[in-house]
A and B are shown apart, each in its own frame.
Chain A
Amino acid sequence: MITFDQVSLEYQPGHFALRDVSFSVEPGSFTFLTGHSGAGKSSLLKLIALLERPTAGEIHVGPLSYSRLKPRQEPALRRQMGIVFQDNQLLHDRNVFDNVALPLIIGGYRFADIRKRVAAALDKVSLSHRALDAPLSLSGGEQQRIGIARAVVARPKLLLADEPTGNLDADISADIMQLLMQFNAAGVTVLLATHDKGLLDTFGFPQLVLQQGRLKNSGRDASASARSELQSRPLTRRPRVQRDSPVSERELIRRTVTPGE
């Protein structure tokens, strides 16, 4: 799904945000991107989201090579990704429904489809009843769930999450993780940047560890190498929904764990 080959990002001469980073993430996987603050996690996500261009190396997402991508092709590629931000980036001048609908409006969907998909996305994050509310009237956790609903409403194949639980307490973080895992179970590749050790320990997904712009566990397939280790590790907080279990997406929605459950 995502392949980095000797990728470097140099903001100023001699100041590397990323240096010779190589890894690959398999389609449908859930991968943690971790490291201390300033290690290059956000820069790496920005490269994938086409917000930055590498100064060296090659990035592939699916069959696409970023170096051959023309600027006018970037928006279309970005529409195939869902992005969840630490500060959720909701627009406060419109209600929850319109926030979640924005990617669909951008994508040129018909009104009937927009309505249906937004309803489904809000249902998935258990916030349908807040559709009419302004984002500022929601709690931090609810706002983040709205951010996730917006990221997945266009059914992207890749979900990038930059510290989505950074401002949330442990219980709400677990709920957010649960949601992301459900989308992962439905086939969405998830790359989650976090430096929350609690999350990393609790949810034993493969990790890409960055240190001062370099990948510590660098390899062509960091996620694959870590997967075998992961599968033997029990989940301490909530049962993980198996990606290959024969449950439908609707069934998964029903299993959404709401706060206080």
Chain B
Amino acid sequence: MKSQTTSSASNEAASDAINRAAGPRWTYRHRGYALAQSFRQLTLRKWSSLSTLLMLGITLALPVLLLFAAGPLQQLGNRGVEGESLTLYLDAQITDLQGASLAQELLGQPGIRKTSYISHDEALATLTENSDVSDALEVLGSNPLPGAIVVYPDADTLEPVRLERLSKTLGKMASVERIQLDLQWVKRLHAVVELLRLLAWLLAGFLTLTALLVIGNTIRLELLRRQREREVASLLGASRHFLNRPILYTGALYGFLGGLMACLLAFLTFQALLQPAHELATLYASSFHLKMPTASQFGTVLAISTLLGLIGALGTLYRPSR
């Protein structure tokens, strides 16, 4: 009786040990096992994982900032050249009514955002106000100044080549006597903007490549650490997919968490810049407004960084020397 009781207690203890030893159900499926192993490896070496993630986060932060700031900066660029315009000096015979009507007509043409007609009298008033030629004008007896149309091209047409094309098209109009356009200034501005943009994207590209290499190197170390586990699993009949899946998940996990870290850094940077940028814009009477990144932008960054992690892991797993 006593031995039966002892045996029953021992069975219960064994059953209890089995129940407690088994992990969550999902970790015993192929994908769940791979994911659980990836998380376990990440948490086993907390400090090393954290420093890798920080490195990834900082490396990805600049490309992320560029991505988030691309919209507002584009706006700023466009606003910077908003004053850029072509002035069409009309034939002196064109009346104010005809000139205003022509300005209205031009508004419907592609590449033109806004037109403004300057009448004969407005031109004279401006000239009188800004110079000392009023006596000479009195001698002439009549207003010799022609009407003019100021044409503001749209954002796309501000590009020098397009602007030149628009200028030529408008110059062919019979009622237009002369066109004034400071194309040199526009060209210089665009060259500077293009150079800055190229530099920014090159830098972003290099940093993304660095992130890819960091992930690749982390995965290489991970492979070395897991070599024994992989060998044992292979001896137990694990397929290549089974062996590689935890490594791929680790790469994706590093990419995702690195992206999350970069998003956090970018968010904090935006938060810090919001007020100073607003103050600067106010000083320049600009309507420029630095907007906080949207949820979809964060989502895009996370998707791209996860993909980067996956590519880094794939590159390490399937590189030719392996």
Contact = CB atoms under 8 A, between A and B. Distances in A.
Report if A and B associate in a common complex: yes
Interface residues of B, number: 30
Interface string A74-107: 0111111101000001010101111001111111
B173 interface: no
B192 interface: no
Given A51-B235, A123-B14, A95 B229 contact: no
B235 A83 contact: yes
Contacts of A96: 21
Interface in B256-270: none
> B-side binding surface: helix, strand, loop or mixed?
helix
A105 B235 contact: no
A48 to B, nearest CB: 12
A106 to B, nearest CB: 5
B44 interface: yes
Contact of A118 (B18, B232, B233, B234): B18
B17 A103 contact: no
Contacts of B232: 89, 91, 102
B79 interface: no
10 contacts: A49-B235, A78-B237, A91-B229, A106-B242, A111-B28, A118-B22, A128-B15, A131-B14, A131-B20, A131-B21
Contacts of B10: 129
Interface of A: 49, 51, 72, 75-81, 83, 89, 91, 93, 95-98, 101-109, 111, 114-115, 118-119, 122-123, 128-132, 150
Contacts of B40: 93
A132 B236 contact: no
A181 to B, nearest CB: 23
A102 B236 contact: yes
A78 B235 contact: yes
B28 A101 contact: yes
Contacts of B28: 101, 104-105, 109, 111, 114
B79 to A, nearest CB: 58
Sorted nearest first, the 3 A-B pairs with minimum C-beta distance are: A79-B237, A128-B14, A97-B21
Contact of B18 (A83, A108, A109, A122): A122
A103 B18 contact: no
B288 interface: no
> A-side binding surface: helix, strand, loop or mixed?
helix
B236 A130 contact: no
B18 A115 contact: yes
A101 B23 CA distance: 11
Nearest to B235: A83
Interface in B218-277: 228-229, 231-240, 242
Contact of B33 (A51, A76, A91, A105): A105
B280 interface: no
Nearest to A92: B228
B30 interface: yes
Contacts of A115: 18, 22
Contacts of A106: 233, 236-239, 242
Given A49-B235, A91-B232, A107-B237, A129 B33 contact: no
Contact of B21 (A76, A77, A95): A95
A223 B79 CA distance: 91
B319 interface: no
B25 interface: yes
Contacts of B233: 102, 106
B22 A97 contact: yes
Contacts of A72: 239
A148 to B, nearest CB: 13
B43 to A, nearest CB: 11
A132 B235 contact: no
**Residue among B40, B236, B238, B240 with the highest chain A CB neighbour number at 10 A:** B236
B233 to A, nearest CB: 6
A247 B240 CA distance: 40
A104 B28 CA distance: 9
Given A77-B237, A129-B10, 12 more contacts: A78-B237, A91-B228, A93-B44, A95-B21, A101-B28, A105-B28, A108-B30, A115-B18, A118-B18, A128-B15, A131-B14, A131-B17
A129 B11 CA distance: 8
A122 B21 CA distance: 12
Given A91-B228, A106-B242, A132-B17, A75 B237 contact: yes
Interface string B1-44: 00000000010011101101111010011100100000010001
Nearest to A89: B232
A103 B237 contact: yes
Contacts of A102: 232-233, 236
Contacts of B238: 75, 106
B236 A97 contact: no
A79 B235 CA distance: 8
Nearest to B225: A93
B31 to A, nearest CB: 11
Contacts of B33: 105
A245 to B, nearest CB: 24
Nearest to A126: B14
